[in-house]
Amino acid sequence: MTIQNVLQFGNPLLRESCIRVEYFDSPEVQQTQRDLRDTLHRLQRVHRRGGGLAAPEIGSALRIIYVHARGRSFHLFNPVIVERSDETVQAWDFCYSAQASFLAEVTRSQRIRVEYQDASGNSHNETFEGYFSELLQHEIDHLNGTLFIDHIDKPATLTMIAEWDRQHAL
């Protein structure tokens, strides 16, 4: 198990664009895959929320994302959003790179089409809606040096997660 520390807002690597993966079997790529998987699984156990993690969050400049949510687990290499729906949604978003301490409403496309490669380098073209659309927009933003706080339209929606949990307890 290779759990990495998550870089926090203010770390300059989080504002850089990542580089394309060219050699899928390189030791660096293989290690980054494992680190993303193991680190996300640990974060999900600790925070009980979240569905994805991008390589820059663990200090890697590679264009790799790992998703583990709602019955799906997969890596996306070199993902690019090639189409966005005109329909948008307001979504509550948070980030492990903000110590999973606050969330805010952001505007996201309801549906996106993403071109990406899998761990073998095979190309995929997939449409994502709802939750997965929101999640992948967040994670792909990380690969381009954009953070969810850049999408906050209404700062008044900023809420500490502890307060959110208190207000929404069942």
146 and 57 Cβ atoms separated by less than 8 Å:
no
> What is the C-alpha to C-alpha distance for residues 1 and 10, in angstroms, rounded to an integer?
27
Please give the single-letter amino acid code of residue 80: V
Distance CA 58, CA 107 (A): 26
Alpha helices in 17-81 (DSSP H): 27-47
Q: Tokens representing 153?
A: 């339209």
Catalytic choice (22, 87, 139, 163)? 139
In the residue annotation, 134 being an active-site residue is answered as: no
Task: Please identify every residue annotated as catalytic.
Answer: 139
